[in-house]
Structure 1
C-alpha cells in the first residue's frame, strides 16, 4: 500500500498540480492514479510551460496557426483537448469514488477576474466543450468570482475556486456556494452531483511573511492559517443550517491546499503536505513535491490537531502589527498578475 493510499484512507485526496500531453499519452498519469493520485489541476502557467517544452504539441500548434483563429481560440482548442483526455483517464477514479475524486480543472481566462458575467459565460462554455462529468472549471475568488460561483453552482457546474489566502475570503466562498445551492433547490433541481473545492494557497503566505517574523515564527503562519481555516470549515459545514441542505443532497465544499511546494529550501520539501492531512480535504502538489512525499513523507492526520496552538501563532503574528487579511488581498492580486503574465506568454506562443 503506497503512502498516497494511506493519505486517502485518512480522508484526504492528493491531486497532481500539472498537466501536459506527454503526461497523458505516456501513461504516466494513469500510473500515478494507480499509485493513489486522485485528480489533476492546471493553470495558465502550467499550460504555458507545457506548450513551450512538450514536443507533442508542435504539429497541432503549427496546424492551428494556419487557421483563422485568435491565439486564445488556439489555446482553448489545445487545453480543452488535454483536459478532456485527462478526464477520460481519471474517469475510473471518479466513478469508483462516487463522484468525489477524479476531477481535472481548467481555468477561465485571467482576463475575466473582475467580470462576473463574462466568467459565467466562459465557464459554461468550457464545461460544455469538455463534455465530461469529472471536469472542474477554475475561477478566482475575487468579488466577481464569488458572484459567478453562486450562479455556476446554481447551474450545476463543478467549480474549483482559486486564489484564496485567508479565513474571511474562504468563508465568503462557502456563503456564495450555499446561495447557489439554495437557488437550485428552489427550482426543484438536484444538487447531489455538484462538487466544489476552495483552493487555499499555502507557501506564498510564509514566503511573504517570513522576512518580517522572528525566527520562531518563520514557516508557521501558513500552516496555522490552514488549521484555523479547517476549524472554520468544520463549524460552517457542521452547522444546523447546512445540515438541512445536506439532507437535500448538498455536498460540503472541500478545502484544497494549493501552492504546497516549499519556496524556502531550508524547509522540508514535504512541510505543506505532512502538516495538512485532514478528513474531507484535497492537496494538489507539483511533481517534485509529490515525489518527495512518496519518498519520505508522513501520512498522519495532523490538520485537526493543536488548533489552539495554531490560533496562538496567529495571535502572535497579529501582535506584531501584521494584518493577515490585508496580506491575503495583496497576495490574491499578486496571484492574478502572475496568471495574467503567464497567460500573455502562453498566447504569444500561439500567435
Structure 2
C-alpha cells in the first residue's frame, strides 16, 4: 500500500468512505491507517448497509430494543459508538499531524437539511456525545446548512460540509466558514483548532450529464469542475479577506472529493482518484475504489494540470445550453432525497 503514502507526500489525504463495527474490531481500519489512509467518512447509506450486514450489531440492537429505545435512539447509540471507536483508531494520525488529519465524520439527520436551528442543535449534541477531538459533524450544504456551518465553526466544532456540486456552492461555503471563524476569533476562540472539509461530489455530475453531451466531453465535466473549483479555492484563500485569520493560525478549508467511485463501467475504475490528486485536498473513497487504486492507481500531481482545458470544457457545456448551477441544485436535492430514503430504510428494522 505504499501508493497511499506517495499520495500523502503530494499533500492529499485519502479517507475511507465506509464504517462498520467489523471494520474497526477486525483491525482492518487500523491496517488502512498504517498504510496511508488518513480519515473516515460515513453517511446514512453506509450505516444502513453496516447494520443490516454486520452480525456484530445484532446483540446490541436486541438489548436496546428491550430497553424500550426508539429507532433513532438505537441508531444514534450504535453510530456514536462506531464513530468513537474509529476516532480512537485514527487518534495517532490526528496527533501526529497536530490535528490536521485523522478525522471521522458523522452526519446530522437528513430530515434537518432545511432546518438551520435544528441542524445546529443536533450537531452540537452529537459532537458532545462523541466527545473526541477528531470528530467531524457532517452537514449538507443547503442554505440552511451554510447558516449552521457558520454557527458550528463559531462554536469550535469541525465540520464536513457535504453535497456540493458546483463552484458557486463552494464559494458560498468558504464565505460561511470565514464568517464562523471571525465570530470565533471575536469571542476569543482558537481558530487554529478548526478544520472544515467541503465535500464536492464528482461521479454524480458525469452520470447526470453524459447522455446529453457529445462523446468528446463525456466523462470530463466532473473533473473539469473539480479543477476549476480548485483554482477558485486557491484564489479565495490567497485573498486579503483570509489573511488576517491566517495570521491567527486559521486553516484553509480542504476540498474533499466525494462520490469518486465510477458509475459508468466504461471508465477506468480509478479515474476519479488518479485525476484529482492535489495539495491540501482529500479524496474519500469506497472500499472497492480504494483497493483498485492500491492495485493499479497512478500517483501524480494531476489536479493543478490542464486548468485551461478544463475551463474550456465547462464553457462548451454552457454553450450547449446546460446551466451547471441549476444542475447542481437538482443534484443536491436528489442527494438529500437519497439520504432521507437511506435513513428511513436504516430506521425501519430498528423500530
- Which band: TM-score by shorter chain? over 0.9
* Residue aligned with 2:331, SS: helix
Q: Distance in 2 between matches of 1:184 and 1:38?
A: 27
Taking the TM superposition and a 5 Å limit, the aligned residue runs for 1:107-146 are 107-146=107-146
Q: Which runs of 4+ in 1 moved over 4 A?
A: none
Q: Distance in 2 between matches of 1:19 and 1:67?
A: 25
| Residue matched to 1:328 | 328
Name the TM-score, length of structure 1 as normaliser: 0.99
Please list every run of 5 or more consecutive structure 2 residues that lacks an aligned counterpart in the other structure: none
Choose 93-102 or 24-33, whichever is displaced more.
Answer: 93-102
| Residue matched to 1:20 | 20
* Residue aligned with 2:192, SS: coil
The one-character-per-residue Cα deviations of 1:299-322 (angstroms, maximum 9, x if unpaired) are 101101111100000001101000
Q: Distance in 2 between matches of 1:188 and 1:55?
A: 47
1:175 is the counterpart of 2:172 = no
Count of matched residue pairs: 351
| Residue matched to 1:53 | 53
Q: Distance in 1 between matches of 2:263 and 2:77?
A: 33
Task: Give how far 1:68 is off.
Answer: 2.2
Task: Give how far 1:342 is off.
Answer: 0.2
Task: Give how far 1:146 is off.
Answer: 0.2
| Residue matched to 1:67 | 67
The one-character-per-residue Cα deviations of 1:66-124 (angstroms, maximum 9, x if unpaired) are 12222101100000000000000000000011111110000000000000000000000
Q: Distance in 1 between matches of 2:91 and 2:144?
A: 31
Task: Give how far 1:136 is off.
Answer: 0.3
Taking the TM superposition and a 5 Å limit, the aligned residue runs for 1:56-95 are 56-95=56-95
Name the TM-score, length of structure 2 as normaliser: 0.99
Q: Distance in 2 between matches of 1:54 and 1:120?
A: 31
Please list every run of 5 or more consecutive structure 1 residues that lacks an aligned counterpart in the other structure: none
Q: Distance in 2 between matches of 1:268 and 1:350?
A: 38
Task: Give how far 1:243 is off.
Answer: 1.5
* Residue aligned with 1:192, SS: helix
* Residue aligned with 1:261, SS: coil
| Residue matched to 2:238 | 238
1:212 is the counterpart of 2:174 = no
Across the aligned residues of Structure 1 and Structure 2, the Cα RMSD in angstroms comes to: 0.6
